[in-house]
Structure 1
Amino acid sequence: ADVLAVDDFDESMVREVFETAAAMKRMVAAKGGSDVLRGRVLANVFYEPSTRTMCSFDAAMKRLGGQVVSVSESTSSAKKGETLEDTVRCLECYCDAMVLRHPQVGTAARAAAAARKPILNAGDGVGEHPTQALLDLFTVATAWAETGAAPPDVLACLAGKQLTLLGDLKHGRTTHSLALLCSRLAAPPSLVLVSPPELRMPQAVCDKLRARGVAVEETDALRQVLPQTDVLYVTRVQRERFATEEAYRAVAGSYVVDKALMEAAPPRCVVLHPLPRVDEISTDFDADPRARYFEQMENGMYVRMALLALVL
């Protein structure tokens, strides 16, 4: 089975991934790994820079006893003009599954159409990043369970809550996927979309959310919505997605989350960031117990371990 978009998942599948990820987390703490994927090979194919996603998939496969072949644009035959489809057909001769990141929307679906082996989308341009959305929600559920604020059902904890997405919502594939994953739940949180007017969530995404019954509010006023925010999801303004430096600088630094600002947020607010950050979260907030972005990064390995084990 491929993992291309969050619409591939329904609520029961999300719950299965979360239960498996929690088991993986316990297993790693107890003994470091297992050999459930011994003899299997994963191809990590990254045409865009990556630290967390690439390394967490690599570590996930190795902790499950498998091996990894890594390919970047600079080391692949794409430099010679080879098509994505031919690259995929070549690599699947050597591996059991493939993780793909590419700067163009729709490339994961193209790869899956050409491949006989499973394809996992690690980000296709400004499109989607489904495995990130899964680890984001897993982190929220885990955080609330630790504080006693969550019911036993890890997804039920989202009902009636407010999820505020902040920053570059136009180009931010992580926010697209997280919002759409929420819409797959029977009782989704309400969504508040905070951004400069130039960086609003794509209308197609908003239309789909509302059609599925999700309450959506768009604003540029973070301070007004912060006191009601249960989850604050911060994203950077992505310099690499802008056509010119001038266009980037016009919106860079629009919002900065720091210790002083977060005095207005609830004491159990969960603050996430897909990372890397530039200056949108001040380091003076890192020690706050509501800051969960480094835990979020670690959870990425457990969720990707779960996905690899389930897919393979």
Structure 2
Amino acid sequence: MLRELLPKSQAAAAPISPVAHSLLGKHILSVDMFTKEHLNEIFNLAQMLKSRVAKDRPLDDFLRGKIMASIFYEVSTRTSCSFAAAMQRLGGRVIYMDQTSSSVKKGETLEDSIAVMAGYSDVIVLRHPEPGAVSRAANHSRKPILNAGDGVGEHPTQALLDIFTIREEIGTVNGLTITMVGDLKNGRTVHSLARLLTLYNITLQYVSPPNLGMPEEIVRYLASKGVLQKTMSSMEDALPTTDVLYMTRIQKERFASEEEYQKACGHFVVTPKLMTLASRRTIVMHPLPRVFEISKEFDSDPRAAYFRQAEYGMYVRMALLAMVVGARN
């Protein structure tokens, strides 16, 4: 079935089995597990799935009979719903669990919850507020777990859809300058994206409020991979050389007090006037939800890619589920 989705020329020239087999039944915990070959295979499949959905061609026997457990200890809109939509479009079904309506309220441990849910499902999608919790859960699951975000740690499927978005919108990733703006300290999306971008030839620019810069360990890691990094004082300085503007919200839930949060707010806001400093080919991305960092007046600009980005996420997650769970033959 995976092969059937690819054009005949691609299927013949680049068999899917070596890469697909390497992801079959595997946990997706960190971007560090991916090779460039993995990314190409995932993105090629995501493009084909996107085309089939656009043409209203049926995909519902792809994962028919399979069940995905959606377990979110933190609230979510895009990640939770796009995974559910992805599974259902492929013919699978979804069961749900969260901490407010489950035995977590009775004191059940994460490990026990995962062991139980693994018995009900073929794949688990897990979000947890504690960094490293998803990896810990994977040690207690006999079914593959996909990391849907672990606190300020990683968000690997978001990084995949972010790079897929850049490819779809610009046509390439290599040679681009990507500017990350906002709460870079606590933003798991930028942490994972920055690490995954080491597979490409890119330049990274950072713009953030005081004390919310990219963590030093990530800066050092990227430097060890030869990535050129620049810290900029303002968006005005960064925009003229920016190909991809990646905005992030100031994460209120990560601050110890309302006062500290308010001090970090309002420094960097995308407006139509500000974007006159950027190229016509510059795209603006955001993992969403946005709060104040992108003016709604900018939504009609063709460079506003963030809602398309959210849709692309469904196709990437469809591809991942098909490769990890295994499509029906």
Once the two structures are superposed, what CA deviation does each residue of 1:216-273 show, in whole Å capped at 9, x if it has no partner? 1112311111000000000000101101101100111111001000000011001100
Gaps of 5+ in 2: 1-25
* 8 Å CA contact retained: 1:197, 1:220: no
Match of 2:138 among 112, 122, 137: 112
CA distance in 2, matches of 1:93, 1:57: 20
Cα shift at 1:33: 3.2
Where does residue 19 of structure 1 map in the other structure? 44
Gaps of 5+ in 1: 145-149, 151-156
* 8 Å CA contact retained: 2:163, 2:173: no
Equivalent position SS for 2:125: strand
Cα shift at 1:32: 5.2
Where does residue 177 of structure 2 map in the other structure? 162
Equivalent position SS for 1:165: strand
Matched, 1:86 2:112: yes
The size of the alignment, in residue pairs, is 299
Where does residue 171 of structure 1 map in the other structure? 186
Map residues 98-247 of structure 1 onto 2, 5 A cutoff: 98-144=124-170, 150=171, 157-183=172-198, 185=199, 187-247=200-260
Cα shift at 1:141: 0.5
Where does residue 41 of structure 1 map in the other structure? 67
Once the two structures are superposed, what CA deviation does each residue of 1:123-163 show, in whole Å capped at 9, x if it has no partner? 0000000000100110111011xxxxx3xxxxxx2222100
CA distance in 1, matches of 2:132, 2:71: 15
Q: Percent identity?
A: 53
CA distance in 2, matches of 1:166, 1:90: 40
Match of 1:250 among 252, 255, 263: 263
Where does residue 263 of structure 1 map in the other structure? 276
What is the letter of the counterpart of residue 215 of structure 2?
P
* 8 Å CA contact retained: 2:74, 2:127: yes
Equivalent position SS for 1:55: helix
Where does residue 313 of structure 2 map in the other structure? 300
Cα shift at 1:75: 1.3
CA distance in 2, matches of 1:80, 1:97: 25
CA distance in 2, matches of 1:222, 1:113: 43
Matched, 1:4 2:29: yes
Where does residue 275 of structure 1 map in the other structure? 288
Cα shift at 1:44: 0.3
CA distance in 2, matches of 1:65, 1:281: 36
Once the two structures are superposed, what CA deviation does each residue of 1:56-76 show, in whole Å capped at 9, x if it has no partner? 000000000000001111012
Equivalent position SS for 2:91: coil
Q: CA RMSD in A?
A: 0.9
* 8 Å CA contact retained: 2:86, 2:314: yes
* 8 Å CA contact retained: 2:66, 2:122: yes
What is the letter of the counterpart of residue 2 of structure 1?
H
Equivalent position SS for 2:146: strand
CA distance in 1, matches of 2:103, 2:203: 45
TM-score by length of structure 1 reads: 0.94
1:245 and 1:297, CA in 2 relative to 1: closer, same or farther beyond 3 A?
Answer: same
CA distance in 1, matches of 2:104, 2:92: 26
Map residues 63-82 of structure 1 onto 2, 5 A cutoff: 63-82=89-108
Once the two structures are superposed, what CA deviation does each residue of 1:89-132 show, in whole Å capped at 9, x if it has no partner? 00001000000001000011001111110000000000000000
TM-score by length of structure 2 reads: 0.90
CA distance in 2, matches of 1:7, 1:271: 25
